[in-house]
């Protein structure tokens, strides 16, 4: 089973860039399933039913999210309804949406789990204990598991990789929007990367127009942020999962959006 995982898609430029790149990504990597982090799809912050549907129409099978998931109130009902959009499992139990989903991939079943880091991000419960709880829940229902660990600091992400090594096919970091150079299969058979990166404009500051972001840092005053739109890149990884539910390989995808 080959899984293409796309890092945080930022705004319309990110969505358009992915749409333009999809034919080439399909041809080059032949994914059986595409997973994408969609927490920044709607205007750079949050997700709506419309932006989620746009990703589904591109062939994305499962959408993960993170700290911006509840930005748009009108999406709450959609998050409750949709079985293919997930939010961090370790958020408040009563919050809209679900923390994991199980989808068929060919004749196998893949569980996709979303977790939030608890260092410099708000989470209701420890992602480590939550990971254990979700894994015991999906045991028997899934042949392999992929985790999107949406977290800020590399130490927590690397620790999660070791915590899950041998128990999941992949533990893939998101949220910082900057790809890291540490993609590898850990000794127990778990594909790991601290951060997949983002799918959006490389001309800005993690998705925001650079002059606005720089001004915010220079002045420490509130600045209205717009989504940067030049030089869009696709950041992702391709994970090949063997029959035993362990990863055979992880390959980083860093490509400019065509056109
Ligand atoms: Fe993000
Ligand atoms: Fe985030």
Task: Looking at the CA of 38, name the nearest ligand.
Answer: 1
Which member of 29, 68, 72, 100 is catalytic?
68
Ligand 2 centroid from CA 65, angstroms: 8
Q: What is the mean pLDDT, run by run of 10 residues, along the chain of 259 residues?
A: 98 98 98 98 96 98 98 97 98 97 97 98 98 97 98 98 98 98 98 98 97 98 96 98 97 96
Name residues with Cβ closer than 5 Å to ligand 1, which is an ion. 8, 39-40
Instruction: Give, for 22, the enclosing helix (H) or strand (E).
Output: helix 11-29
Residue 259 has what pLDDT? 83
For residue 66, the CA-to-ligand 2 centroid distance in Å is 5
244 Cα: distance to centroid of ligand 1 (angstroms): 31
Residue 28's contacts (CB-CB under 8 Å, 6 or more residues apart) are none
Tell me, in angstroms, the distance from the centre of ligand 1 to residue 171's CA: 17
Active site residue 29: no
Sign of CA dihedral 166, 167, 168, 174: negative
CA distance 190 to 16: 31
Cβ burial, residue 206 (10 Å; 0-12/13-18/19+): buried
């Amino acid at each position: 089973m080959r899984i293409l995982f796309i890092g945080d898609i930022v705004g319309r430029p990110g969505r358009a860039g992915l749409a333009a790149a999809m034919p080439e990504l399909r041809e080059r990597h032949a994914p059986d399933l595409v997973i994408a982090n969609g927490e920044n799809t709607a205007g750079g912050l949050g997700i709506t039913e419309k932006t989620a549907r746009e990703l589904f129409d591109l062939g994305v099978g499962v959408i993960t999210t993170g700290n911006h998931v509840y930005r748009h109130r009108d999406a709450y009902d959609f998050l409750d309804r949709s079985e293919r959009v997930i939010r961090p499992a370790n958020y408040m139990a009563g919050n809209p949406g679900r923390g994991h989903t199980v989808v068929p991939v060919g004749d196998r079943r893949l569980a996709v789990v979303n977790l939030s880091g608890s260092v410099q991000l708000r989470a209701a419960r420890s992602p480590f204990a939550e990971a254990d709880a979700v894994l015991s829940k999906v045991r028997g229902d899934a042949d392999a598991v992929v985790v999107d660990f949406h977290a800020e600091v590399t130490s927590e992400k690397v620790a999660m990789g070791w915590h899950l090594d041998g128990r999941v096919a992949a533990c893939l970091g998101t949220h910082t929007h900057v790809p890291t150079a540490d993609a590898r299969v850990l000794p127990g058979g778990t594909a790991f990367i601290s951060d997949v990166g983002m799918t959006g404009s490389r001309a800005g500051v993690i998705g925001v127009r650079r002059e606005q972001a720089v001004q915010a840092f220079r002045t420490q005053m509130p600045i209205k942020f717009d989504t940067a739109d030049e030089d869009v890149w696709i950041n992702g990884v391709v994970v090949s999962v063997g029959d035993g539910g362990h990863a055979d390989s992880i390959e980083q995808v860093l490509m400019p959006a065509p056109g």
